[in-house]
Amino acid sequence: MDIDQTTSNGNHPIASESLESSSRSPSTMTSQQTTEIGDGHTLQHYTPEQTTRVAETGSLVTPGTSPITHHDRVLDNMTITTPNRTTTTTEEQELYPIAVLVDELKNEDVQHRLNAIQNLGTIAMALGPQRTRDELIPFLNDSIDDEDEVLLAVANELAGFSEYVGGPEYAHYLLNPLENLAAVEEVLVRDKAVESLCKVAHVLSASQVENYFVPLLKQLTNGEWFTSRISAAGLYAASYSKCTNEQKVELRNLFSQLIQDDTPMVRRAAAKSLGDFAKQLAKEDLNSSIMPLFIKLTNDDQDTVRLLTVEDLLQISRILSVEENKSTLLPILKSLAQDKSWRVRYMVASNFAELCDSFGEAITRDELVSLFVNLIKDSEGEVKVVTIAQAPAFGKLIDELTVLDKLLPCVKDLVIDTNQHVRAAVATNISGLAPILGKDLTIEYLLPLFLQLLKDDFPDVRLNIISKLENVTQVIGVERLSQSLLPAIVELAEDKQWRVRLAIIEYIPLLASQLGVGFFDEKLLNLCMSWLGDAVFSIRDAATTNLRQLVEIFGSDWAKNTIIPQVMEMAQNENYLYRMTTLFALTTMANALSTDIVKDNVLPTVLRLKDDTIPNVRFNVAKSLEVLASILKNDKTSIELIQSQVAPALQKLSDDSDVDVKWFANKALLSGKGLILFSF
């Protein structure tokens, strides 16, 4: 039904409109009729109360000027028909809400059409509930033929539309347009329509469900095209609880029909929504009508269908009792866990801990441990990765002895797995086992694995193990950990490969924050300082940034007492590279230090280096003075210091014989002037 027909009650449609010149029958009729009238004249008629016609460029037809020529527009645009009365004003035609909408939907820019739809509520509000039901909804039903994006917006809008059609008692009016949208080809639109339908279903009363929703469900389920059947599968759970008993029987039959559909797409959709539907069912109905079909679904020849049944299995196992789980579901789970498709095994593995939880401890201990061991030894890396991620949660459900006997040997194998992603996953999750095993067992069994992982070639493995150290520290204490960890770290820190050393430096701040200041001072501080004297520049550079991060973690007082004295000592070193490193270290740290420390300790050291014999050192002094000055300016009392010490020093450097020194000194002076620090 097109708009003109609705508005004119179908009594006198002369021409009709259609969007985007779609080849619908009314538009062909238009052309016929207009040609009959001939000579490019079309008669225009008007209704009393509404009914509009807005031709494209605002060429409005005013009453009184009845025959108007716009023959050329008639074919590809909408024209408007109305029964003949002349009481309407132009304003009315122009502002008739549906005409406004039609007009907006004619825009060629998709974004505009989208805007129009997103504000559909306004149109409905202007129409009022009665006319929204009688005119807007039928219009949406038939006349929308647009990009998927726009359809998606329509589906989205309709979810919240019940207030515009007159409240929940009229909400069933929304079902029709949504039903059409649930049958379109584009998945996103369909999904959105289903989502909206579920929302609408929640506000429907029992009789509305009976009279409108269930028929819709039937129609979709029996739809010829698989798209409507897929949409139907998602709708059962939403309406089931509101149905009468006979209808419930019917719905169950319809759903089982979907489960046995010929196309895998539909079976997949059915498998996806089976879990939710099962939750709504009474237990005996579930056992009698759905279970046999579910079992069939788990043996489907398509692995994409089978893998979706794992989630259902989880949902159903939560509904059934422990004995029922053991007798019916356990065999299914076992076969799924040994499925020939790795994607099915992957699904089982990723839901393993939850499955164990709903099956109960007894079954877990007796039956599921061996399944888990099989999965952890799987031939596919992906399966191993998700299985090991479940290990800590699974370990909590079984006793430590089983963990030790069954699980640990597998984990040991994984530590030397050839797949680096598997090793990284082990490194992330292995520390989760420490709280389960307790102190002594962790030291005895897990620690060696830790150390082995710490020496892994793949950086992610080392990072994962270090970032999860916290769990282990809680169990065995910092002391014990440091005893075994430290040798490994020191070894890596002095590795011949500078990339390995760099990797360790990057983890130091993380490690320091986890192990605490006491431990750090004692063991790792010297290591950090020795990197400043490394032969490779990248290492020295990383070490200075490392120092800044450490200062951020431990605070400036700690820096003043431990790091700064050692760094300043390096300022006297004979090798100019060491002296330069001092400058770098002090400059990068300055941002994290308090102004007092910068003023008392850092600044004098830097200033002392300004007379260095090597020009490289001198221009680096200029560079670092620039940074220091901008830090010092925050403090009122130190501004004087800038005037009396920094400015003269820079002045002196700007008269240096070396070009670079001059250049950097002048640059620092300029930026200092920019900050209004120096006045000359």
Partner 1 sequence: ERERNEWIIERAQMKARIALLEGERRGVEQVKVDLLKRVKMLEYALRQERKKYLAAT
Binding residues vs partner 1 (CB under 8 A): 91-92, 94-97, 100, 103-104, 107, 109, 111-112, 115-116, 119, 122-123, 125-128
Residue type, 412: K
Residue 118 or 671: the one with the smaller Cβ distance to partner 1 is 118
Residue 125 or 159: the one with the smaller Cβ distance to partner 1 is 125
Considering the complex, what minimum distance in angstroms separates the CB of residue 44 from partner 1? 21
Residue 131 or 662: the one with the smaller Cβ distance to partner 1 is 131
Considering the complex, what minimum distance in angstroms separates the CB of residue 486 from partner 1? 58
Measured CA distances, 417 to 403, 430, 500 (Å) = 20, 14, 21
Give the span between the Cα atoms of 194 and 197, in whole angstroms.
5
Residue 104 or 400: the one with the smaller Cβ distance to partner 1 is 104
Residue type, 651: Q
Residue 311 burial (C-beta neighbours within 10 Å; 0-12, 13-18, 19+): middle
Considering the complex, what minimum distance in angstroms separates the CB of residue 82 from partner 1? 18
Considering the complex, what minimum distance in angstroms separates the CB of residue 141 from partner 1? 22
Residue 111 or 418: the one with the smaller Cβ distance to partner 1 is 111
Considering the complex, what minimum distance in angstroms separates the CB of residue 114 from partner 1? 11
Residue 164 or 240: the one with the smaller Cβ distance to partner 1 is 164
Phi, psi values for residue 552, rounded to 5° = -60, -35
Residue 121 or 555: the one with the smaller Cβ distance to partner 1 is 121
What are the helix (H) ranges across 42-96? 71-74, 90-95
List residues bridging with 42 in a β-sheet. Answer: 68
Tokens (6 digits) for 554: 């431990």
Considering the complex, what minimum distance in angstroms separates the CB of residue 61 from partner 1? 17
**Dihedral through CA 375, CA 378, CA 383, CA 388, nearest 10?**
60
Residue 111 or 679: the one with the smaller Cβ distance to partner 1 is 111
Residue 90 or 561: the one with the smaller Cβ distance to partner 1 is 90
Considering the complex, what minimum distance in angstroms separates the CB of residue 349 from partner 1? 50
Considering the complex, what minimum distance in angstroms separates the CB of residue 135 from partner 1? 13
Residue 130 or 474: the one with the smaller Cβ distance to partner 1 is 130
Tokens (6 digits) for 307: 């893998």
DSSP state, residue 338: T
Considering the complex, what minimum distance in angstroms separates the CB of residue 189 from partner 1? 24
**Dihedral through CA 147, CA 197, CA 279, CA 313, nearest 10?**
-10
Measured CA distances, 131 to 134, 135, 179, 523, 585 (Å) = 5, 5, 21, 81, 76
Residue with tokens 């925050």: 634
Residue with tokens 């179908």: 10
Residues near 272 by Cβ (< 8 Å), separated by ≥ 6?
233, 234, 308, 311
Considering the complex, what minimum distance in angstroms separates the CB of residue 51 from partner 1? 14
b/e burial code for range 78-87 (CB count within 10 A of at least 16 → b) = bbbbbbeeee
Residue 111 or 657: the one with the smaller Cβ distance to partner 1 is 111
Give the span between the Cα atoms of 8 and 15, in whole angstroms.
11
Considering the complex, what minimum distance in angstroms separates the CB of residue 116 from partner 1? 7
Measured CA distances, 33 to 7, 11, 36, 236, 281 (Å) = 19, 16, 5, 47, 57
Considering the complex, what minimum distance in angstroms separates the CB of residue 101 from partner 1? 9
Considering the complex, what minimum distance in angstroms separates the CB of residue 81 from partner 1? 21
In 3-state terms, what secondary structure has residue 526?
Answer: helix
Residue 106 or 623: the one with the smaller Cβ distance to partner 1 is 106
Widest distance between CA atoms in the chain? 106
Instruction: Assess contact for 458 and 418: CB atoms under 8 A.
Output: no
b/e burial code for range 621-660 (CB count within 10 A of at least 16 → b) = bbbbbbbbbbbbbeeeebeebbeebbbebbeebbebeeee
Residue 97 or 234: the one with the smaller Cβ distance to partner 1 is 97
Residue 119 or 302: the one with the smaller Cβ distance to partner 1 is 119
In 3-state terms, what secondary structure has residue 68?
Answer: strand
Tokens (6 digits) for 590: 């300055």
Considering the complex, what minimum distance in angstroms separates the CB of residue 163 from partner 1? 16
Residue 103 or 521: the one with the smaller Cβ distance to partner 1 is 103
Considering the complex, what minimum distance in angstroms separates the CB of residue 95 from partner 1? 4
Give the span between the Cα atoms of 598 and 601, in whole angstroms.
6
Residues near 157 by Cβ (< 8 Å), separated by ≥ 6?
117, 118, 120, 121
